[in-house]
Amino acid sequence: MIRELSFNDLLYLIAAMRWTLALTGIAFLGGSLVGLSVALLRVAPFAPARWLGTFYVHAVQGTPLLAWLFVFFFGLSIVGVTVSPWVAAAAAYSIYAGAFLGEIWRGCLQAIPKTQWEAGASLGLSFMEQLRYIIAPQGFRLAIPPTVGFLVQLIKNTSLAAVIGFIELTREGQLTTATTFRPFTVYLIVAALYFALCFPLTQLSSRLERRLHVAR
């Protein structure tokens, strides 16, 4: 049934943003855990650990996110596990975000001068203690702007979850289009809503970046 595009549709689209945000939150949480491990692996003083981290990053950054979503959504159901779009999306996005956050954070850890590590070592701190008390606090400041920047990528990429039937902003847009047949208006609204989410974060990220440069 085709009906007119109404104000209510706009409200529904705005309401669907909460699922976009929820998925972004889950992905960021899962991605942080994976990313932290990857970053640690990549700076570990043990070569095979570094290889493992590198392999993970290359494998994930070299395959499309869409493939991960499909593997988890369609793939896991064949081994007898029924996967809801939520679980599939959470798993796929954690893996995806983990690789990118891991690389960002590794860069931040490695940006800290080697002498800082050595200073820690000469105080008798172990590798983990050096990381915990000396490197991580300094790296954290560096990490904030690019992490906020990646959050924008993540918000935009949650739109891909629409293809496995995860109802968020883009999927809601598809559904609204199907009933009203006004694709141009609907997708314009959807794009505007994404813009409203992402643009402030983009600005924040570049402002933080500038402020950090001044502080150094």
Partner 1 sequence: MTYSFQFRDVFAAWEFLLDGLVLTLELSVIAMMSGLIIGLAGSAARVYGPPWLKGIVAVYVETIRNTPLIVQLFLIFFGLPSAGVKFDANTAAMIALSINLGAYSIEIIRAGLQAIPRSQIEAGQSLGLSGLQVFRYVIIVPALRLMFPALASQFVLLMLATSVVSQISAQDLFHMASIIQSRTFRDFEVYILVAGAYLVLALLFRLIFAGIYHFVFARR
> Which of 90, 101, 119 has the alpha carbon at shortest distance from 42?
101
The token pair at 6 is 């109404």
Smallest gap, in angstroms, from Cβ of residue 30 to partner 1? 19
- Cα–Cα nearest to 10, from 157, 192, 167: 192
Residue whose CB is less far from partner 1, 24 or 130:
24
Query: How far is C-alpha 2 from the chain's CA centre?
Result: 37
Q: Does 94 bind partner 1 (CB under 8 A)?
A: no
Under the criterion CB under 8 A, does residue 78 sit at the interface with partner 1? yes
Tokens of 58: 């290359």
How far is it, in rounded angstroms, from Cα 163 to Cα 193?
19
Residue range at the interface with partner 1 (CB under 8 A); choices 34-42, 122-130, 179-187, 207-215? 179-187
Q: Write down the least CB distance from residue 84 to partner 1, Å.
A: 16
In whole angstroms, what is the distance from residue 17 CA to residue 176 CA? 14
By CB under 8 A, residue 68 contacts partner 1: yes
Q: Which positions touch partner 1 (CB under 8 A)?
A: 58-59, 61-68, 70-71, 74-75, 77-80, 152, 156-157, 159-160, 162-163, 170, 173-174, 177, 182-184, 186-188, 190-191, 194-195, 198-199, 202
